[in-house]
Structure 1
Amino acid sequence: MFDASGSLQFEPFKYCPAATSIIAVLGEGSVTRNAQVTGLTWWSVIPRLLPAPQALLEHERKYRLPTAVGVVAGAYSGTIKKEINFFAQLLHPRTLANYEVELVQVTRRKQEARSFGPREYGPLFFVSLLGFAMAIALIVLSVYYQDGFSLLATIMLATVSSFAGFGTHWDLVFQEPKIAASRDKTLPRSDVLIYYPNGAIRVIRAESEPIARLYFQAEYAEYIIDDTPYRTLALLSTILLMGGVVSLANSKNILQVAFVATYFTLNAVYWAVSALNPFTAHWRHAFQVDVLPVKRPTETALGDTTPLTKTAELKRTVKQQWHRFQNAWSLSKRQARAEKNVKKEARNFTAALWTAIALTGTTQWLNEATAIAPMNDVWRTWLAQAEEHISSYDKWEGRFKLHRRPRIATGIDWTFTAATSKHKEEALQRRQIVIGSWDYQGALTTILAKYAAQTRKPIPDEAEDEDEPSSLSEKTSAVPRPVLEV
C-alpha cells in the first residue's frame, strides 16, 4: 500500500488460522514413497504426528511390492519371468550402464532367518519416533496453556496416523522353496540372468537352487485386517482428520505457531528420508552379494585375432608388468595417465550377448520365449557359432566355484593381500574371470553377408514395377516410382 506521500508501506502481519490447517495435510509424496515398508513394521501403529496422514488411506490397498521392467531367465532351468520382482531389485540396486554385463555371486548368510524385510531401526523408525515425541510435546504445551482445542487437535491427528497404521499393516508372504535332497544333484545349474531394457545383463551365480528360484517368485502382502474393517477404519480416520483440522484452526495462536513449526520440521525430515535409496536405507536382506571382476572383450582385441609370437607375447607381458609397477609406486598423476591407456570394453548389444553367453556357458536362454535376441536365421547361426567358441576361465578357483578370498601371489604382482575379511574387497578386485577371445562382430558380419540374398530381397510390388514394359501410357509413366534406398 502507498501512503499520502507516495511511499510504500506494509500492513501489519495478520496470522491466518486456516494456514495451519492446510500445512497439516501437505506432504503426500514424501509419506507415500515409503508407505509399504513402513506398514511392515510394528512402530507404524504408534500414535504420532504425520504429514498428510490421509495419503496412507488409499481406496485400494496394494498387494504386491513394486516390480521393474525386464526379463529374468534361468540359464539352464528354462524358467522365464517377464518382470523383475522386488527381491531382485533389493539384492541388486545398482543401475547398470547401457549394454553393461555384471557377474555377481549370491550366498546366504546363515544367521538370517527371513529372506528380506524392513530395517528395524532405520531412518523411518527415528522419524516416526520424532513424530511421537512432537505429539507428546504439543500435548504438554496444550495443557500448559490450557488450550482444549489444541489438545483435541493433537490427539485426533495422532490417532489418525495410528488408525492408518493399523489399516495398512501387513505381513510379507515370500518364502524360500524347499527342494528334496534326492534332487539336489540332478537339478540344472542355478545360474540366473536379468536382462534390462537398456541392453544391460546381470549374470547371477546363486549358491543353491532355492536362492535362484527366489528371482522368479512373487511377493504378496497379507494384511492383518480384511477389506471391510479397513474401509470402516478409513471412515473413522477421515472423520478424526476433519475434526483435528477444525480444532487446530480454533486453537490459540501460540499453539498454532507450534503446530506450524512441528509440521515444517516433519515435512523436511520426511522429505530427506524419502530422498534416500529405499533398497539400501529402509530394507535389509539375508544374502551376501559379491561382484566378480570380469576381463571382457575390448574394441582393440576384436579387430586383431592374429595369434602373437612368443617374442611379442613376452614384450606385452613385460609392458603390462611395468605399467602395474607404475600404478603401484608412482604418483597419482602418473596413475591417471596410466589409466587412460587401459583398453575400454566394447559396449554394444552383440558384446553384451557374447559376454553373458561366455559367463553362463550356454545359449539356450536366448530363445523365442525370452525375446532377448532376434530369432531369425542370421542370429540362430551366430548363436550356434557362439556356443562353439564359449571359453572363460576363472584363474583363482575354477569357473563356477564360490569365491573364498584367496591369497594373491607375490613376485611380479608387486603386492600381497592376505586372505582375511579386512582385505576382502581388494581380493575380490584381484580375482578375474577371463573370457576367451572370439571375433563375434566379424562372425556376425560374415553371417549377415551370407544371408543378404534372403534378407534383402526387394518387395514384390517393386519387383513388378521394374519388370513393367516401357509402353505404358504417358500418364502412368509420369507418376514417380518409389526408390529403394540401401
Structure 2
Amino acid sequence: MPWFPPAGQSTQDGWRFDIVSVLAIIGESTLERHVQVITASSYAWLPRLLPAPQTILKTERPARLPSVKDVVITGVYSGLHLTELNFFADVIHDVATLQQYEFRVYDIHYAHKESKEAEELRSRPRVLTDGVAEPVYIPVKRFCALNVVNWISVVMTIGLFIWAGLIHDGLAMIALVTMSLSTSLACLSSEWYPVLSHRPTDAKVPRGDIVIATRHGAFVVVRCDEEITRELYGGTETCRYVFGDTWHRVLLGTSTVLLMASVILFNNCGWTMQAAIGSAYIILNILYWAVPLMMHRKSTWDMSRYEIKRAAPKARPTKRMPSYTETLWYAIRETGRIEWVQNSKLAPSTDAWRKWLQEALSNCYDGSTWDPVDAKDRFMREAAESVPPATKSG
C-alpha cells in the first residue's frame, strides 16, 4: 500500500476533494468583520465566489453602525454629553490606539469639493421610510483594498468557469454560476449606505467644539462647527437599505437555495475542478484575512467630505511622568473653559478640585508656566490640613 494516494480520477485509490464544499463555507470569522463594507460597496452586486457566504445570509439587518463605548463626549459650549463615540468619528480618531494620558487636538472643517463616490451616491435612487431625504453620506472608496479583493474574486471566478468549459466539466460550470449568483443576491439583499444626521435648521448656534475623554485618561479636543458635531458625534448614524423587508426576504431565500444547490454540485464536480475551486477558496480566505493588515478604516471609507487636520497643543508638555491631572490641564488650556469639566464630571466635585479648576482657568494664557500637578498637590494638602483629626472614643 503506498504512503500517499496517487493523483487521478479513481474514486477508490485517488485523491478525493469532496471537502471542497466545506472550504466554500469556512472563514466566517474572517469575513464577519468585512460584511458591512462588502454590502455597502458599489460592487456588492458582482457575481463571484465569496468565502463563507452564509455570513451575509442574516434575517436581521443592523439599524445603525457600531459605536465605541466607555468614552465621554462633552460639548465645550453646547453642553452636549454622550457616553459613546459614533463609528465615523472613531474612523477619524481611532480611540483604541490612544495611549494612557495621551492628548490630541483636531481641526475639522468641510472640504470644498465632494468626491465622485459621494456625488454618485447622492444621485442614486433611494427607498425612504420617512419621506425625507437625508443629504449626508459617507460612501466606501471605490479603490479600497477590499474592493480590489472583490475584483480579484470576480477574475478568479471567470477563470475557473472558462477552465471548467475547456475540460467539459458541466457540473463545475453550473456550480460556479449558482454559487456566484448566491453571493450576488445575498449582498444585494443587505445592500445599504450610511446616512448621517444633520441640522434641520440654519439657526445660529454656538461653536460645536467637543472634548473626548477615554477610560485610560486620554483626551481629544476637536474644534469644529455645530453642523459637523451633529453629523459625526451628536447625531445617530443610520443604515439606509436599498431594499425593504419584503424584497430582502425574497433575495435572502433565493440566495439560500442557490447556496445549498451549489454545495451539492461542488461535491459532484470532476477531480481537477474540485482541486482548483478548493485552492481558490483558500486563496480568497487568505486575502480577506490579510485585508485588515494592509489597510485602515480610513482607507476604506471616503471621508473627503471633511478636511481633518491634527493640530499642535497650546500647552507646553512637561518632562514629568504623564498623569490624568496634566492631561486634563492640556484640554482646559486648549478650550479656555472649565464648564465642560464640571458638566461631564471629569473632575471630582470637591472644594480642592473646584479651586484647582478656577486656578487652571486663570492660567489659560500664552506663555503660562503654571504646573497643574503641583497646584493639585497644594490644594489637596490644604484640604487634608483643614480636616480636624479624628478623636478616639473612650
Query: How much has 1:453 moved relative to structure 2?
Result: 5.8
8 Å contact kept, 1:115–1:175: no
Residue 276 to residue 64, structure 1, CA distance change in 2 (3 Å): farther
2:59 aligned with 1:50: no
8 Å contact kept, 1:24–1:52: yes
1:213 to 207, 230, 243: 230
Query: How much has 1:298 moved relative to structure 2?
Result: 4.3
1:106 to 108, 133, 145: 108
Q: Which residue of 2 aligns with 1:385?
A: 359
1:349 to 324, 334, 337: 324
Query: C-alpha offsets along residues 154-189 of structure 1, whole Å, 9 cap, x if unaligned?
Result: 011101111111111013221432552xx44xx323
Residue 359 to residue 10, structure 1, CA distance change in 2 (3 Å): same
Query: How much has 1:225 moved relative to structure 2?
Result: 2.1
Q: Which residue of 1 aligns with 2:167?
A: 145
Q: Which residue of 2 aligns with 1:308?
A: none
Query: How much has 1:32 moved relative to structure 2?
Result: 1.9
Query: How much has 1:111 moved relative to structure 2?
Result: 0.5
8 Å contact kept, 2:109–2:307: yes
Q: Following superposition of structure 1 onto structure 2, how do residues 245-260 of structure 1 map, counting pairs within 5 Å?
A: 245-260=263-278
Q: Which residue of 1 aligns with 2:78?
A: 77
Residue 277 to residue 124, structure 1, CA distance change in 2 (3 Å): closer
Q: Which residue of 1 aligns with 2:312?
A: 293
1:12 to 5, 10, 13: 5
Residue 274 to residue 15, structure 1, CA distance change in 2 (3 Å): farther
Which secondary structure state, in structure 1, belongs to the residue aligned with residue 44 of structure 2? Answer: helix
2:177 to 130, 155, 158: 155
Larger Rg computed on CA atoms: 1
Alignment partners' CA distance in 1, 2:377 and 2:261: 73
Alignment partners' CA distance in 1, 2:54 and 2:160: 21
Alignment partners' CA distance in 2, 1:219 and 1:132: 31
8 Å contact kept, 2:171–2:268: yes
8 Å contact kept, 1:104–1:203: yes
AA matched with 2:45: V
AA matched with 2:273: L
Residue 203 to residue 169, structure 1, CA distance change in 2 (3 Å): same
Deviates more, 1:158-167 or 1:60-69: 60-69
Query: How much has 1:364 moved relative to structure 2?
Result: 0.5
2:393 to 458, 467, 477: 467
Alignment partners' CA distance in 2, 1:212 and 1:28: 36
2:193 aligned with 1:167: no
Which secondary structure state, in structure 1, belongs to the residue aligned with residue 341 of structure 2? Answer: coil
AA matched with 1:44: A
* TM-score normalised according to structure 2 size: 0.85
Q: Which residue of 2 aligns with 1:365?
A: 340
* TM-score normalised according to structure 1 size: 0.70
Query: How much has 1:16 moved relative to structure 2?
Result: 2.4
Q: Which residue of 1 aligns with 2:65?
A: 65
Q: Following superposition of structure 1 onto structure 2, how do residues 308-457 of structure 1 map, counting pairs within 5 Å?
A: 344=319, 346-367=321-342, 369-391=343-365, 393=366, 436-452=368-384
8 Å contact kept, 1:33–1:274: no
1:244 to 244, 247, 262: 262
State the number of aligned residues.
Answer: 363
Query: How much has 1:195 moved relative to structure 2?
Result: 1.0
Which secondary structure state, in structure 2, belongs to the residue aligned with residue 172 of structure 1? Answer: strand
Q: Which has the higher contact order (CA 8 A, sep 6+)?
A: 2
Alignment partners' CA distance in 1, 2:388 and 2:61: 53
C-alpha RMSD of the superposition: 2.3
Alignment partners' CA distance in 2, 1:154 and 1:455: 80
Consecutive unaligned residues of structure 1, counting only runs of 5 or more, are 2-8, 300-343, 394-434, 469-486
8 Å contact kept, 2:92–2:298: no
Query: How much has 1:451 moved relative to structure 2?
Result: 2.2
Alignment partners' CA distance in 2, 1:101 and 1:12: 62
Which secondary structure state, in structure 2, belongs to the residue aligned with residue 443 of structure 1? Answer: helix
Residue 172 to residue 237, structure 1, CA distance change in 2 (3 Å): same
8 Å contact kept, 2:101–2:216: yes
Alignment partners' CA distance in 1, 2:213 and 2:139: 25
Deviates more, 1:72-81 or 1:444-453: 444-453
8 Å contact kept, 1:179–1:210: no
8 Å contact kept, 2:102–2:327: yes
Consecutive unaligned residues of structure 2, counting only runs of 5 or more, are 7-13, 119-135
Which secondary structure state, in structure 1, belongs to the residue aligned with residue 18 of structure 2? Answer: helix
8 Å contact kept, 1:297–1:351: no
Which secondary structure state, in structure 2, belongs to the residue aligned with residue 268 of structure 1? Answer: helix
8 Å contact kept, 1:297–1:345: no
Q: Which residue of 1 aligns with 2:288?
A: 270
1:234 to 234, 252, 258: 252
Query: C-alpha offsets along residues 85-112 of structure 1, whole Å, 9 cap, x if unaligned?
Result: 1121122237222111111111211111
Query: How much has 1:75 moved relative to structure 2?
Result: 0.6
Query: How much has 1:346 moved relative to structure 2?
Result: 4.8
Q: Which residue of 1 aligns with 2:122?
A: none
8 Å contact kept, 1:173–1:219: yes
Aligned-pair identity in percent equals 30
Residue 457 to residue 153, structure 1, CA distance change in 2 (3 Å): farther
Alignment partners' CA distance in 1, 2:164 and 2:389: 84
8 Å contact kept, 2:137–2:195: no
Alignment partners' CA distance in 2, 1:264 and 1:148: 23
